[in-house]
Amino acid sequence: MNRHAYLTVGIMFLVLAAPLSSATGIPAKKVSWRADKKGLLSKDFMLPAPSGTQEDCPCSDASLCKPIDVAYEVETFGFGATNFKDGEGFNWDAITTVAWGSGIDLICDAHFHGVRVIASVSPPLTSDQDLISQFVSDTLASVQENFYDGVTFDWESPVDGYDDPMNSYYLDVVTQTTKALKELNPSYQVSVCAAWSPNGIDGRYYDYKGLADATDYLYVMCYDTRSQIFDQCIASANAPISICQKGISDYLQIKVPAEKLILGVPWYGYKYECIDPEFNPEVGKTCEISQVPFRGVNCSDAAGSEVAYANIRSIVNEGRNSSEVMRDTYMNVPFFNYQDDGKNYQIWYDDPESLSAIYKWAVESGLGGTGPYRWDQLDASNEAESSEMWDAIAVVGSKKTVVESFKESPSKNIEVLDFH
């Protein structure tokens, strides 16, 4: 759906969210909808409250606690490092930023490899400047105390059109936080998670141009693109390149500079139950799914569930698929059927072939970068398969070009300080 679901390898948590708050200015809608990630978010990803004391650097070398101060020409920016163990399963050469990272082991190791680690924050959405100031000062204190390299914002609730006051509250707190962080250290990185298109996806009519101007990057979530299905209620691709390209083009149309856009891709897919009793598990291609509404649309990918790349591939590797792995030639993505518990399922996902085409296009289009939701969805013990995924993104060559530093980089620089 229209959020980063909290998805650990093999496990998906579905949490029912509270009805839309009247604080959004929108009446609660009588639709059942899946939780925004906010409801699913483990505290681990969040910037902790400041403790008020600065600990000594716990890394082997005190310099590893300093924020990363290089700017990479192309970011390979992705989420997630759950169960991080000494970098196991991580190809640091392919990564420039780990968002929602937590834990000092991760930070020491990432910094050793020149990789930023940034935390998630949930700001108050309000016109109350005292609350905003408190949030900003807590954020600054905690980023420093915990040796982070910046923060990412990920609000995903619907608003009542482009002029909903929530939009300006959001922009205000993002702007003030970024300005304060950059004054402290221009190398701190700030980003905002954005829908696959700026055009009101799932009711997110946010001021994306303003949010892009105020920060370093918009992380454009080109996944869960079937959060609202307006045509046939069937299983299909999570993140086809055609939709990613359309979304990026919409951002460029509202004059967000290409270098501020990071094209986010899924390292997970969707598993759907095929409800037609006549469905042929060996060769069936059209998998009718049950209608599960999302934000006023009767059919959505909430009928399915998210499955990490590693777990999808293990079904095929263990020979549990009932069909061949087929490929939709128009969208260039794989899918297959399998049976479990007497039910038919179809799984759609992205693989090194579909992702390579997207990475390549992102780089050729001069985007600020690309990267997955999530870095930790590969099976480190399956070296052959996970290295194909790493190799595909390593081609982006993110770390080959280091722009001297944020201080000297003309495009990613301090112009942010003069904003507003």
Ligand X SMILES: *[C@@H]1O[C@H](CO)[C@@H](O)[C@H](O)[C@H]1NC(C)=O
- By annotation, the residues acting in catalysis are 156
* Cis amide leading into 374 (omega within 30): yes
Return the number of the residue (324 or 353) whose C-beta is nearest ligand X. 324
Please report which helix (H) or strand (E) contains residue 151, including its range.
strand 150-153
**DSSP string spanning 179-233?**
HHHHHH-TT-EEEEEE-SSTTTGGG----HHHHHHHSSEEEEE---TTSSB-S--
Q: Is 163 in the site for ligand X (CB under 6 A)?
A: no
Q: Is 157 in the site for ligand X (CB under 6 A)?
A: no
Among 57, 316, 394, 402, binds ligand X (CB under 6 A): 316
Options 19-27, 36-44, 318-326, 354-362: segment touching ligand X (CB under 6 A): 318-326
Return the number of the residue (176 or 322) whose C-beta is nearest ligand X. 322
Q: Is 324 in the site for ligand X (CB under 6 A)?
A: yes
Q: Is 353 in the site for ligand X (CB under 6 A)?
A: no
Q: What distance in Å separates the CA atoms of residue 79 and residue 219, rounded to the nearest whole number?
A: 10
- Helix, strand and coil in the chain, % to nearest 5: 30, 20, 50
Among 96, 187, 311, 321, binds ligand X (CB under 6 A): 321
As measured in angstroms, the least distance from the Cβ of 245 to ligand X is 28
As measured in angstroms, the least distance from the Cβ of 323 to ligand X is 5
Q: How many CB atoms are closer than 10 A to CB 130?
A: 9
Q: Quick one: tokens of 241?
A: 């390149």
Q: Quick one: tokens of 361?
A: 């296009």
As measured in angstroms, the least distance from the Cβ of 316 to ligand X is 5
Return the number of the residue (57 or 326) whose C-beta is nearest ligand X. 326
Among 167, 236, 323, 409, binds ligand X (CB under 6 A): 323
Options 123-131, 213-221, 235-243, 314-322: segment touching ligand X (CB under 6 A): 314-322
Q: What distance in Å separates the CA atoms of residue 230 and residue 291, rounded to the nearest whole number?
A: 11
Among 51, 298, 381, 401, binds ligand X (CB under 6 A): 298
How does strand 268-273 pair with strand 305-308?
antiparallel
Return the number of the residue (298 or 411) whose C-beta is nearest ligand X. 298
Q: What angle do CA 314, 318, 322 make, to 5 degrees?
A: 100
Q: How many CA atoms lie within 13 A of 407 on its CB side?
A: 5
Q: Is 197 in the site for ligand X (CB under 6 A)?
A: no
Positions in the binding site for ligand X (CB under 6 A): 298, 316, 321-325
